[in-house]
Chains A and B, each alone.
Chain A
Amino acid sequence: MYIPRSILILFIIIYLLFLLSVDWINQSGGAWYRPFLVGFLIIAIAGWTHREQDSDEL
């Protein structure tokens, strides 16, 4: 099974971010939009990993 390296990196980053941010998101007194900040960060990283993966048109 072939997994592009960039996707593997993205997978690991998302997993680590999820583990690290759960407590921060649920912290008492924290801003309600914290999950969205994490979401934007993940999307930015994803935009970078998908930047030039269009060369395999069949």
Chain B
Amino acid sequence: MNYDITTVILLGSGYLALLFGIAFITDRGWIPQAVVRHPVVYVLALGVFASVWAYYTAVGNALRDGYGYLAHSIGISLAFLFSPLLLKPLLNLTRTYQLSSLADLIAFRYRSPWAGTVTTLVTLIGVTPLIALQIRAVADTADILSPAASQGLLAVGFCVVITVFSILFGTSRRAGRTRHDGLVMAIAFESLVKLVAFLAVGAFAVVGGFGGLDEMQQWLHSQPRLLDSLQNTNYFSSFHIMALMFFTAAVAMPHMFYATFNESNGQRSLSVASWGLPLYLLLMSLPVLPILWAGLQSGSLVQVEYLPVVIGVEYGKPFLTLIAYIGGMSATSGLIIVLTLALSNMCLNHLILPFYQPTARDDIYKWLLWKRRILITALIWAGFLFHYLPDVKISIQLIGIVAFSAGLQFLPGIIAILYWPNGNTRGFLAGLGAGVFVWLVFLMLPIFAAADPETMTELNWSRIAIVSLLLNSILFVLVSLASETSDEERSSADICTLDTIKRRKRSGLVAKSPAEFIKSLSKPLGEKTATREVMQALQDLSIKIDDRRPYALRRLRGRLEANLSGLLGPSIARELIDGYLPYSLVSQHGSADLNMIEGRIEAYRSNLSGMAAELDSLRRYHRQVLLDLPLGVCSLSSDDEIVMWNQAMERFTGINSTEILGLNIVDLKEPWLSLFTNFIDEDSNHSFKHYFELNGQKKSVNLHKAIIEDTTAAGSPHEGMIMLLEDITETEILEAGLSHSERLASIGRLAAGVAHEIGNPITGIACLAQTIRDEYHDDELNKLARQIIEQTDRTSKILQSLVSFAHAGTSNPQYANAPVVIAECMEEAKTLISLDKKSKDLHFQLDCDPNAVIRGDSQRLLQVLINLINNARDACQHNGNISLQATVAGKQVRITVTDDGIGIPAAIRDRVFDPFFTTKEAGEGTGLGLSLVFSIVEDLDGDVDIISPVDKDRGGGTQVILRFPCYHEEPESAQ
């Protein structure tokens, strides 16, 4: 059963065009994001792992190794089943620092561009056979379908088409920064097609080949050689190393790294993939044995690896053949597209950019895009050349083994990234060099040199792989321990290693604002690119363009390095950032950056258990105590950076902690700058009664400070300082008010005493005057006596008022509900106020309705009027006018106290009734006058209003309006 070559080509090209269509409509947003970003799509995209090895080579492996063919699936599955140990931490690292390939990761961890370059070179040499393997599989299967066609031409045709599609898929937009949703959807679709096709062929093998599962089992029992290979599968020989090879490949192979980390939606997707991908691979492995046995039963003479395609031919089912061919095409094309895309990024970042970089005048994005396209083309055609170079009789199994065993050489370096901070560049390069040398000499070169395919088949690749890995690991450990590790490497190891939470010491940057960042980066990148990158980083971190906090600038620097790493690779990015955005101080390793440590502990919080969880709870409790403390708490680092600003401090200063954290103390605004810096310079740890003005109000505070000792290292410098701020403004006012009240009370008692003492002689004078008036009949003398009596009456009245006012705070309950004649109260208030020398220049106007009577305590109303008149007097200039009015309106008595003074500013009008609020000079007012008025008026069932300004044109004058219910005498029967 042969097919026309045109049919084969059209089928392949049509299928690739369909994939491109899926990618296109996904990128256009025609497929809902809920579908595109669904974890299942991610799992299917990871199906790119099941390449020719799982589709074709597995059948040959099953024949040779029995269940040993499962080593491929088991190796990758183990990496995903235990993803919290390896893949998840690596995902965090790659996402945080925008690392798009293993070479990026290695260069980042070992802080060496050379490590990245060597990793890229080894990967390039190692995976070129893998590309060749895919091309060969396509050419071989096309040859089976159409034997008349030239296999070479088929391979060339496939390479041309796949080159075009790889460029269209992978480089239609900026790489290294965003997820390729279109590519992911296309690869997921490919994986689905591949799985369905393979399961369909497997199902046909069982049903069509044997007639059912039982029949197949019976046939198997008649095949002792096959049974033996299944039942005597040696799980402890090459199976182990094969599984380890694919376990490593989950990270080390560029296409796997790319699919796992670059196109991930986050931890949740990876969690689903942790069991989803093993399930996918298990389903892919399930039809292998039935396909093999059905192929063997048919007596096919075709190479056993291609039985999935041949079965349809052998059993006369052309449609099945085409399905199997499309499935194989999915396996090969998916891998080539993703592999070349990933490898082109690696080559660009680690082989080209370190030696040749675009100038600031170039459009860097366009320059990178074209270089990537050229590299993709070169890689596919390098694979094509490799497909021709070795002897064509070498099995595709051996080519795959050579490729994957190259990836195995990265295993020690990858493990050390997360679990061994002592590993360094020298150790990594020495180990990798030795391992790769063994691999190159004993595995790779024999492919070129071998003339006899039998020699290659007998080559004990598993021993060579083990020896190379052991040599690699031993040298890595020994050289790392024997050589010195740089501070940069230690710092990077700290970031990567799971158990380490040490961070670089906070250091200031030379550039002091995002604008200066742009200016500095414009030199290497050009102004346009630098602006775009800085703005992108600011947006990523939600930092404002005018933010100058050192903490924010350090984060911005880190983000820029990460973003540029995604674009240019970590080595170039670090070189650029270190060169153009340097630290102003030399960083010291080992000092803690509390914000970083807290961030990391918070991130891992849900994983903490036992003692660690208890300690974390304790940490959070202590932190909350400080945050909720009613005293203002400001904690400074050893370099005077603000690391804590609690809620009380926020309330008192009006400065939010998010604005202030990370700021240096010298960047604070007044009055806080002077207050804190002067206090820090003081020798004493306590400073009392600092006075300053805040928002037009006088404030007073007590300050306390303590040095935070570093308890972890004896003799080391301190960790910083903690300052407490105690707001004593209200306490001060209260004290002043109490003192003033006490003084007034003393004066009151004194006045009462003096009034009493003066009252007796006055009474004597009045008696004498009455005697003269009554006993002498001289008209002139009587007139004088009457005048004396009038004056003594007046004096007595004044004295009586003084005594009454002095006792105002202890009013008699008997009079609490007595009728109060407003006219009398007003007259008495005027009399008392007139005694004050300050009131001599004032003009009083009294206009009182004699019927204005209310129910209450006359002494308390008197205090209300005196307080209001006092305020009116203080607001008036010389010769001011104060008008007192009382009218009866319906059932209410309305009292007004009006002055023509300066009025009350609108800003403080709402606060005049607040206790202790005063605009008078210290010692002149307590801020309790109007508060007391408000309180007494409420007690008397009245209300109070203030109108200011009274004179709208001039803008001055205040009128206080009091309203009380009228007094009505209750009938006797009611009592």
Identify the A interface with B (CB < 8 A).
Answer: 1-5, 7, 10-11, 14, 22, 25-29, 31-33, 35-36, 39-40, 42-43, 46-47, 50-51, 53-58
Contact = CB atoms under 8 A, between A and B. Distances in A.
B275 A53 contact: no
B231 A50 contact: no
A32 B217 contact: yes
Contact of B282 (A1, A39, A54): A39
A35 B71 CA distance: 12
A50 to B, nearest CB: 5
Given A43-B278, A43-B282, A31 B217 contact: yes
B81 A46 contact: yes
B498 A54 contact: no
11 contacts: A29-B221, A35-B70, A36-B282, A36-B285, A39-B278, A42-B81, A47-B275, A50-B83, A56-B603, A56-B605, A58-B95
Contacts of B95: 58
Contact of B81 (A4, A14, A27, A40): A14
Contacts of B279: 40, 43
Contacts of B266: 54, 57
A55 B271 CA distance: 11
A3 B96 CA distance: 22
A46 B95 CA distance: 25
Contacts of A40: 279, 282
A16 to B, nearest CB: 15
Contacts of A25: 67
B85 interface: yes
Given A26-B231, A36-B285, A54 B267 contact: yes
A4 B606 CA distance: 10
A28 B607 CA distance: 45
A56 B81 contact: no
A47 B399 CA distance: 34
B232 interface: yes
Interface string B69-85: 01000000000011111
Nearest to A7: B84
Contacts of B2: none
Given A4-B84, A11-B82, A36-B285, A56 B604 contact: yes
10 tightest CB-CB pairs across the interface, nearest first?
A54-B268, A47-B275, A46-B275, A55-B606, A50-B274, A26-B231, A50-B271, A39-B282, A54-B267, A46-B81
B499 interface: yes
Given A3-B85, A32-B289, A58 B603 contact: yes
Contacts of B67: 25, 35
B221 to A, nearest CB: 7
Given A56-B604, A56-B607, A10 B282 contact: no
Nearest to A28: B231
B268 A26 contact: no
Contacts of B96: 58
Interface in B232-272: 232-233, 235, 266-268, 271-272
Nearest to B231: A26
Contacts of B268: 54
Point out which of B81, B220, B285 has the most chain A C-beta atoms below 10 A from its C-beta. Answer: B81
Contact of A7 (B82, B92, B275, B609): B82
Contact of A58 (B92, B235, B286, B289): B92
Contacts of A2: 498-499, 604, 607
A53 B285 contact: no
Contacts of B289: 32
A28 to B, nearest CB: 7
Interface SS majority for chain A: loop
A1 B498 contact: yes
A46 B419 CA distance: 24
B360 interface: no
B230 interface: yes
Given A7-B82, A56-B267, A46 B278 contact: yes
Given A2-B499, A10-B82, A32-B289, 20 more contacts: A1-B499, A2-B604, A5-B609, A14-B81, A22-B235, A28-B231, A31-B217, A32-B220, A33-B286, A40-B282, A42-B81, A43-B275, A46-B81, A50-B83, A50-B272, A56-B267, A56-B607, A57-B267, A57-B603, A58-B603
A27 B85 CA distance: 34
Nearest to B81: A46
Contacts of A39: 278, 282
A11 B609 CA distance: 19
Interface in B214-237: 217, 220-221, 230-233, 235
A1 B231 contact: no
A5 to B, nearest CB: 7
A11 B166 CA distance: 39
A1 B275 CA distance: 23
Contacts of A14: 81
A19 B289 CA distance: 23
B261 to A, nearest CB: 14
Contacts of B221: 29
Contacts of B70: 35
Contact of B286 (A7, A36, A56): A36
Point out which of B85, B96, B419 has the most chain A C-beta atoms below 10 A from its C-beta. Answer: B85
Contacts of A42: 81, 278
B607 A46 contact: no
Point out which of A7, A25, A32, A40 has the most chain B C-beta atoms below 10 A from its C-beta. Answer: A32
A2 to B, nearest CB: 6
Interface string B83-112: 111000000100110000000000000000
A11 B231 CA distance: 25
Contacts of A29: 221
B272 to A, nearest CB: 8
A1 B236 CA distance: 28
Contacts of B498: 1-2
Contacts of B605: 56
Nearest to A27: B231
A54 B235 CA distance: 34
Interface in B339-393: none
A57 B603 CA distance: 7
Interface string B586-609: 000000000000000001111101
Nearest to B270: A54
B275 A54 contact: no
Contacts of A1: 419, 498-499
A53 B82 contact: no
A48 to B, nearest CB: 9
Given A25-B67, A32-B220, A43-B279, A53 B271 contact: yes
Contact of B275 (A27, A50, A57): A50
B362 to A, nearest CB: 34
Contacts of B230: 26, 32
A6 to B, nearest CB: 8
A31 B231 CA distance: 11
A51 B81 CA distance: 12
A55 B603 CA distance: 8
A5 B267 CA distance: 18
Contacts of A7: 82, 84-85
Contacts of B82: 7, 10-11
Interface in B257-306: 266-268, 271-272, 274-275, 278-279, 282, 285-286, 289
A23 to B, nearest CB: 10
Contacts of A31: 217
Contacts of B275: 43, 46-47, 50
Nearest to A45: B275
Contacts of B84: 3-4, 7, 53
A53 B275 CA distance: 12
A31 B95 CA distance: 45
A26 B232 contact: yes
Point out which of B70, B275, B278 has the most chain A C-beta atoms below 10 A from its C-beta. Answer: B275
Point out which of A1, A35, A36, A40 has the most chain B C-beta atoms below 10 A from its C-beta. Answer: A35
A52 to B, nearest CB: 8
Given A1-B499, A46-B274, A57-B266, A10 B603 contact: no
